[in-house]
């Protein structure tokens, strides 16, 4: 009896071909990621130097499509949601459809990093000339997914199922009057039919230790709603405000009152909520009380019921304050994205893969008040969206780490290989996790 007990674990170790195969797969992904690393960095620099705004990613999508065709992808679909590219890679074994997503658009920011490959691009946005900069790391997301495409196309025989590579335009929002991003990809039906994904994975760079993978089950990133307010009063001379109705001071009251909604009226112990007015415009001269003032802002929430309640309170507060001043207020609230919600069963299933890919550099993280249009895919398709730390080494920084969307934002290219490995491993291991880890 004793002998049998001792022998059993030993036999089990020997007779565990799955684990052995996994290790080899992991090693092969790592060595292929090593080989492609310098290319990923070169692509990222090229895209960084030639950034394109939302729905204008012409050069970037050309670069992507050419790469996927050179890798002999089974299908390369162009002009998805304007400038998007979807590549189809069929594996050697039967299995599910798995989608991997990267975003390609840059931001209207004048770059001030001083990098040799810094963007000098300027373009028109509406009536204004703006700089264009990859300040949110979408250059790196695109380059990493191109790297994953190269790694996995060389490992077709090991792939169970079909992998969709979604290179998405316009994550940062579209110019007025245009449609775009994940919403348009779904609206066009690009993910319907035979290639309906069973699961979707996405990654985003993050101000954390370079190469660390950060993840969180359930709610991860906030729902975002865009808020526009127009306050209309009665114009008059600035010296005689009693002759008119002042929309400037009414707007100031409104802005203050909006801040009191999350802090005084909502149960913030349940979930956080943020309101920010980022834009205010009105008036033409110091001595004229103008007719109207326009404001725009963003509302971030995590809980759907709290969100509904908050939106109703915003409307009521704005309209009531305007009425108390004898002014009129129009409130327009448009949903940008729901919560990025990581399916808890999927996270549980894929945790061992994340651990294998990132080793000790895997960390659970807190809530992020930022939002992502990746959330739209997650409404219908179980998904996992994780973050990749890209902080520069301290010696190479000119001060504190600059945030994404800042003109001095820089990322550590040494971390990109980890992004390629993690994404490749998720795609390769997902099909087998259904049986192995049980909770489909
Ligand atoms: Zn961004
Ligand atoms: Zn982003």
Instruction: Compute the distance between CA of residue 398 and CA of residue 404 in angstroms, rounded to an integer.
Output: 16
Q: Are residue 63 and residue 144 in the same domain, yes or no?
A: yes
Say what angle helices 304-325 and 247-260 make with each other, to 10 degrees.
Answer: 150
Q: How many angstroms is it from 363 CA to the middle of ligand 2? A: 20
What is the predicted pLDDT for the residue at 3? 40
Q: Does residue 82 form part of some domain?
A: yes
Q: Are residue 140 and residue 22 in the same domain, yes or no?
A: yes
Find the domain containing 181 and state its range: 9-222+339-436
Query: Which residue, of 308, 337, 366, is where some domain finishes?
Result: 337
Q: Are residue 117 and residue 242 in the same domain, yes or no?
A: no
Concatenating the DSSP letter of every residue in 27-91 gives HHHHHHHHHHHHHHHHHHHHHHHS---TT--HHHHHHHHHHHHHTT-SEEEEEETTTEEEEEEE-
Q: Are residue 151 and residue 46 in the same domain, yes or no?
A: yes
Q: Are residue 228 and residue 216 in the same domain, yes or no?
A: no
Query: Which residue, of 282, 310, 337, is where some domain finishes?
Result: 337
Ligand nearest, relative to CA of residue 404: 1
Concatenating the DSSP letter of every residue in 336-364 gives EE--EEE-HHHHHHHHHHHHHHHTT-EEE
Q: Are residue 255 and residue 150 in the same domain, yes or no?
A: no
On average, the pLDDT of the chain sits at 93
Ligand nearest, relative to CA of residue 374: 2
Instruction: Compute the distance between CA of residue 362 and CA of residue 358 in angstroms, rounded to an integer.
Output: 6
Residues 6+ apart with CB under 8 A from 130: 108, 109, 110, 122, 123, 124
- Alpha-carbon Rg for the chain, nearest whole angstrom, is 25
The angle subtended at Cα 202 by Cα 45 and Cα 53, nearest 5°, is: 45
Query: Which residue, of 278, 307, 337, is where some domain finishes?
Result: 337
Q: Which tens digit of pLDDT belongs to each residue from 58-75? A: 999 999 999 999 999 999
Could you list the pLDDT tens digit for every one of the 440 residues in the chain?
344 444 444 444 444 445 566 678 999 999 999 999 999 999 999 999 999 999 999 999 999 999 999 999 999 999 999 999 999 999 999 999 999 999 999 999 999 999 999 999 999 888 889 999 999 999 999 999 999 999 999 999 999 999 999 999 999 999 889 999 999 999 999 999 999 999 999 999 999 999 999 999 999 999 999 999 999 999 999 999 999 999 999 999 999 999 999 999 999 999 999 999 999 999 999 999 999 999 999 999 999 999 999 999 999 999 999 999 999 999 999 999 999 999 999 999 999 999 999 999 999 999 999 999 999 999 999 999 999 999 998 877 767 777 899 999 999 999 999 999 999 999 999 999 875 665 44
Q: Are residue 329 and residue 358 in the same domain, yes or no?
A: no
CATH (domain of 65):
3.40.630.10
CATH (domain of 303):
3.30.70.360
Q: Does residue 2 form part of some domain?
A: no
Q: Are residue 199 and residue 71 in the same domain, yes or no?
A: yes
Q: Compute, in degrees rounded to 10, the torsion defined by CA atoms 374, 376, 380, 382.
A: 20
Q: Are residue 315 and residue 343 in the same domain, yes or no?
A: no
Q: Does residue 4 form part of some domain?
A: no
Q: Which tens digit of pLDDT belongs to each residue from 394-409? A: 877 767 777 899 999 9
Q: Are residue 68 and residue 207 in the same domain, yes or no?
A: yes
Q: How many angstroms is it from 203 CA to the middle of ligand 2? A: 9
Q: Are residue 151 and residue 236 in the same domain, yes or no?
A: no
- Measure CA 117 to chain center: 24
Q: Does residue 262 form part of some domain?
A: yes
Q: How many angstroms is it from 33 CA to the middle of ligand 2? A: 23
Q: Does residue 1 form part of some domain?
A: no
- Measure CA 362 to chain center: 19
* Number of separate domains in the chain: 2
Q: How many angstroms is it from 109 CA to the middle of ligand 1? A: 11
Q: What is the largest CA-CA distance in the chain?
A: 101
Ligand nearest, relative to CA of residue 142: 2
Q: Are residue 290 and residue 385 in the same domain, yes or no?
A: no
């Amino acid at each position: 009896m004793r002998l049998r007990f001792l022998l059993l674990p030993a036999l089990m170790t020997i007779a565990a071909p799955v684990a052995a195969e996994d290790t080899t797969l992991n090693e092969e992904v790592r060595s292929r990621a090593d080989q492609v690393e310098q290319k990923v960095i070169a692509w990222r620099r090229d895209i960084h130097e030639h950034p394109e705004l939302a729905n204008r990613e012409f050069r970037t999508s050309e670069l992507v499509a050419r790469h996927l065709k050179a890798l002999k992808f089974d299908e390369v679909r162009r002009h998805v949601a304007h400038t998007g590219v979807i590549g189809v890679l069929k594996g050697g074994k039967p299995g599910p459809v798995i989608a991997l997503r990267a975003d390609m658009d840059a931001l209207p920011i004048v770059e001030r990093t001083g990098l040799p490959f810094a963007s000098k691009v300027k373009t028109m946005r509406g009536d204004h000339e703006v700089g264009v900069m990859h300040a949110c790391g979408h250059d790196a997301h695109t380059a990493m997914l191109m790297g994953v495409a190269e790694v996995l196309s060389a490992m077709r025989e090991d792939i169970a199922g079909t992998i969709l590579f979604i290179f998405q335009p316009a994550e940062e929002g579209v110019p007025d009057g245009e449609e775009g991003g994940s919403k348009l990809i779904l609206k066009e039906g690009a993910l319907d039919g035979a290639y309906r994904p069973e699961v979707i994975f996405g990654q985003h760079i993050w101000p954390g230790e370079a190469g660390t993978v950060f993840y969180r089950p359930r709610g991860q990133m906030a729902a975002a709603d865009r808020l526009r307010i127009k306050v209309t009063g009665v114009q008059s001379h600035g010296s005689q405000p009693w002759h008119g109705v002042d929309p400037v001071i009414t707007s100031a009251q409104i802005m203050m009152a909006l801040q009191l909604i999350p802090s005084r009226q909502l149960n913030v112990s349940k979930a956080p909520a943020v309101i920010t007015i980022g834009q205010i415009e009105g008036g033409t001269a110091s001595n004229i009380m103008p007719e109207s003032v326009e404001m725009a802002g963003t509302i971030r929430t995590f809980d759907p019921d709290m969100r509904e309640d908050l939106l109703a309170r915003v409307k009521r507060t704005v309209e009531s304050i305007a009425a108390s001043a004898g002014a009129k207020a129009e409130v327009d609230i448009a949903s940008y994205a729901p919560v990025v919600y990581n399916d808890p069963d999927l996270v549980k299933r894929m945790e061992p893969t994340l651990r294998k890919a990132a080793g000790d550099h895997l960390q659970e993280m807190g809530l992020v008040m930022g939002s992502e249009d990746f959330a739209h895919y997650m409404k219908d398709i179980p998904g996992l969206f994780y973050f990749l730390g890209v902080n520069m080494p301290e010696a190479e920084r000119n001060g504190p780490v600059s945030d994404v969307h800042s003109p001095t934002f820089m990322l550590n290219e040494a971390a990109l290989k980890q992004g390629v490995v993690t994404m490749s491993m998720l795609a390769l291991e997902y099909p087998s996790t259904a049986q192995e880890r049980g909770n489909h």
